[in-house]
Structure 1
Amino acid sequence: MSKLLPPEVIKRTLTGISIPARPQVLVQLENELTRDDPDPRVIVRLVSGDVGLSAAVLKTVNSPFFGLSRRISSVAQAVSLLGMRSAAQIVTGLVLKTAIAGKAGSLERFWDSAEKVAGIASHISLSIPRGPRDEAYCFGLFHDVGIPILMQKFPDYRQTLALAEKLSDRPFTAVEEERHATDHATLGYLVAKGWFLPEAICEGILYHHDPSVFDDKEVVSSQALTLIAINALAEHFHDEYFRLRSNSSWERMGDRALDHLGLQEDEYCDLREDLTTMVG
């Protein structure tokens, strides 16, 4: 399993950076879910109490990626169909957007991409035996959370993004480390730990740019590898379809991700065609 980050790495990563506080709604959701007999009505009441959040939940579950047979018009229906824990994972990802404040419109493209990747990841998980659908969606929204935080801290961080995209033969995190003495994967891991997300999600965030984790299965759990692989495929499909460009991370880890997921070439092509039809 993943080793604890050395204290000096944590200190360096968090220098001048404040981890966004865990929203109270997540604390209340966890308190209810950890009860011996959690009440779905409490979950519905907590989510419905925030108009913006309830609207976001309905928009999410009614997206084509969730493939529901009928349109959902209430949070109660969403919780009933998805289950309390799945609904809570979706809520966790959605409240992240409001917790990471930015100048109006400055992060619009980032969150739009994150939401699309999360939706694609959720759909991909349905093709995997015992696919972690709710975790895949949460991971899709959460995995790059360090980027908007670093964007707010470093005025030249957009230049780092452009440089990392240009230097496609080098890991994104290596470019960040050179320019800022930290990287978004490490910072995202610390945010996820601070929000008490499942360990597999935390591990996956820390290593989602590291192809070598597929070679050494002792580094992270199998579930974390599955989340990394699903997300890599989702980002690849997203960039290919929505941004009309190749994905350098996929070029480095694509074969290993497909192998871990057990997807053959024909299955990959079918999934790609399916998603293209869905968002077309």
Structure 2
Amino acid sequence: MQEEIIERIILKTVDIPSLPPIAMKVMGLIQDDYASLKTLEDIISRDQGFATRLLRIANSPYYGRDRKIEDIPQAILLIGFETLKSLVIATSLKDLHRNFGVFEQRLWEHSLGVALCSSLLAMVTRLATSDEALVCGLIHDVGKTVINNAMPEMYMQIYEKMYEEHRPIIEIENEVLGFNHTIIGSLIAKKWKLPEKLEVVITHHHTYPYPAYEDQAFADICNIVRVADQICLNLGIGLKEPFETTIDYESLGMTEDNITEVAGLFKIKFEQQKEFLLG
């Protein structure tokens, strides 16, 4: 009952968007056994911005492909339907921004950084596949985008408070708004009917220790995304300045030396690919 009351209050404050139209079309086609590959290619190719972002993500060095993916047909063949479905959702996120200024660019850069770092951590630890980790990282902060759309000035102030007081963003969101981006994200995941694993990551990427689940894979992917997020905060990826925070490397069975090495490699690779990926 308490959850329903909170949900009603949130929905009066923040408009929970539908999945962007192109993503809805692609998702529908992927789930249609009779849909042709050509139709799927045509729909994705028709939206140049969307197609470009999809190819950029698919060609990320963290994605682990042996050959460059140059067009949408190749992407579909090499990536496969299941991964494509997740990437379509993730690639749609940029379209959710009603405005796209410096602040929104930083939110997108942070999500992309966490995605690429999650993918790298997945490859190192072998606790998840790199493409699964990539998508989970990309979508983990969808709640922030939606809050920022609803109250851009206030949300920028929340971030300024985070810098000034050096406190976690989720703590300040709860204090100022009475809810946080993981709660908003959870509502979005339910509305979009996202796969359970994505919903769990969106809802619990700040939860540690992770709540008891029968499926250890859920705990593993949440730990990967949380650690990637902590690495990006410490490096200032998507932030005005670095935000020092503890990195829970033990949750991935890693040592401090391991995580320092991975963070260093990630920083170099991200800087090399930043313009290519963010443009």
Same fold flag (TM > 0.5): yes
Question: What does residue range 34-73 of structure 1 map to in structure 2 within 5 Å?
Answer: 34-36=31-33, 39-73=36-70
Structure 1 stretch 68-77 or stretch 127-136: which is displaced more?
127-136
Question: What does residue range 63-212 of structure 1 map to in structure 2 within 5 Å?
Answer: 63-129=60-126, 131-154=128-151, 155-168=153-166, 171-212=168-209
Counterpart Cα distance in 2 of 1:104 and 1:163: 20
Partner residue, 1:229 = 223
Q: Deviations over 1:58-110 (max 9, x none)?
A: 11122222233332211111222221211221121111110232254441121
Q: 1:278 aligns with which of 254, 262, 269?
A: 269
Aligned partner of 2:259: which letter? Y
Are the aligned partners of 1:128 and 1:261 in contact in 2 as well (CA < 8 Å)? yes
How large is the Cα RMSD of the aligned pairs?
Answer: 2.8
Counterpart Cα distance in 2 of 1:23 and 1:153: 17
Counterpart Cα distance in 2 of 1:103 and 1:109: 10
1:262 aligns with 2:253: yes
Counterpart Cα distance in 2 of 1:171 and 1:105: 21
Seen in structure 2, the aligned counterparts of structure 1 residues 265 and 28 have a Cα distance that, compared at 3 Å, is same
Deviation at 1:111, TM superposition (A): 1.0
Counterpart Cα distance in 2 of 1:174 and 1:20: 24
Counterpart Cα distance in 1 of 2:184 and 2:75: 32
Aligned partner of 2:221: which letter? L
Deviation at 1:188, TM superposition (A): 1.1
Counterpart Cα distance in 2 of 1:44 and 1:5: 45
SS in 1 for 2:209: helix
TM-score, normalising length: structure 1: 0.82
SS in 2 for 1:201: helix
Counterpart Cα distance in 2 of 1:39 and 1:274: 41
Structure 1 stretch 9-18 or stretch 150-159: which is displaced more?
150-159
Deviation at 1:186, TM superposition (A): 0.3
Structure 1 stretch 102-111 or stretch 189-198: which is displaced more?
102-111
Counterpart Cα distance in 2 of 1:212 and 1:162: 28
SS in 2 for 1:217: coil
Structure 1 stretch 142-151 or stretch 34-43: which is displaced more?
34-43
Are the aligned partners of 1:150 and 1:184 in contact in 2 as well (CA < 8 Å)? yes
Structure 2 unaligned spans of 5+: 273-279
Q: Deviations over 1:106-128 (max 9, x none)?
A: 41121122122212222322223
Q: 2:11 aligns with which of 3, 11, 14?
A: 14
Aligned partner of 1:70: which letter? R
Q: Deviations over 1:10-36 (max 9, x none)?
A: 112222321111123333333333345
Structure 1 unaligned spans of 5+: none
1:239 aligns with 2:237: no
Size of the aligned set, in residue pairs, is: 267
TM-score, normalising length: structure 2: 0.82
Q: Identity of aligned pairs, percent?
A: 23
